[in-house]
């Protein structure tokens, strides 16, 4: 069975739980560009054409409103059933996704500076010397 990959720009999984209550608006009303969001279609369609992606749902939301929501590809390769915007996904290991979303929310609120040293937020890291990763 092929894996179905979900691409998300802001917690699509959490968004889908509340999508019915969130209004869909023109991206420009949220300071986003319809033209630039339309580029997502080409990128995802290329992944599907190359069979790197079976299907997915992408959502872009800002300020409690949906600017872009679209389903791509198949939700079931064997039956050919199309992906829908309300498809439910079984997703494992969400730690990195949730942490990233939380960090981006803090950046948006001006409470986290991605260019600041980690030690500004975690004082114990002041003593850490450069490591070879």
Q: Any idea which residues carry the catalytic annotation?
A: 93
Domain of residue 17 covers 12-127
**Are 54 and 74 in contact, with CB atoms under 8 Å apart?**
yes
Rounded CA gap, 68 and 27, in Å?
A: 7
How confident is the model over 54-93, as pLDDT tens digits? 999 999 999 899 999 999 999 998 999 999 999 988 777 8
Does residue 7 sit within a domain? no
Does residue 72 sit within a domain? yes
Read off the tokens for 38.
């339309």
pLDDT of residue 68: 95
pLDDT of residue 5: 39
**Are 72 and 65 in contact, with CB atoms under 8 Å apart?**
no
Does residue 6 sit within a domain? no
pLDDT of residue 118: 87
More confident residue, 19 or 65: 65
Q: Of 15-19, 33-37, 113-117, where does mean pLDDT reach its minimum?
A: 15-19
Read off the tokens for 115.
């260019």
> What are the backbone dihedrals phi and psi of residue 65, each rounded to the nearest 5 degrees, phi first?
-130, 145
**Are 67 and 25 in contact, with CB atoms under 8 Å apart?**
yes
Give the number of domains in the chain: 1
């Amino acid at each position: 069975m092929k894996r179905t990959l979900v691409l998300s720009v802001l917690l699509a999984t959490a968004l889908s739980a509340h999508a019915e209550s969130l209004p869909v608006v023109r991206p420009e009303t949220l300071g986003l560009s319809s033209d630039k969001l339309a580029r997502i279609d080409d990128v995802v369609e290329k992944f599907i054409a190359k069979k790197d992606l079976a299907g997915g749902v992408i959502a872009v939301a800002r300020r409690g409103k949906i600017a872009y929501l679209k389903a791509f590809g198949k939700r079931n390769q064997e039956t050919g059933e199309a992906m829908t915007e309300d498809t439910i996904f079984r997703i494992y290991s969400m730690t990195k996704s949730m942490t990233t979303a939380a960090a981006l929310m803090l950046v948006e609120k001006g409470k986290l500076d991605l260019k600041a040293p980690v030690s500004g937020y975690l004082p114990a890291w002041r003593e850490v010397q450069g490591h070879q990763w």
